[in-house]
Amino acid sequence: MARPIKETPILYGEDARRFEARMQERRRISAEERAKMKATYEALKSVCDFM
């Protein structure tokens, strides 16, 4: 048996505050990166046998 997949822990205290603050931050990938991601997604989706 491989190592079990670790459960995601509940965040407390400073970890929770840091996480929530980061959630509110506005980070955006560039239009170029978004286009690249979308192109890869559509290409890979076309060879999925389940979609």
Q: Which residues bind another protein (CB under 8 A)?
A: 1-3, 5-6, 8-13, 15-16, 19-20, 22-23, 27-29, 34, 36-41, 43-51
Cβ at position 24, least distance to another protein in Å: 10
Q: Measure the CA angle with vertex 15, ends 12 and 18; round to 5°.
A: 130
Pair of tokens at residue 31 = 């239009």
Cβ at position 6, least distance to another protein in Å: 5
Task: Please name the residue that has the structure tokens 């979609």.
Answer: 51
- 15 phi, psi to nearest 5 deg: -60, -45
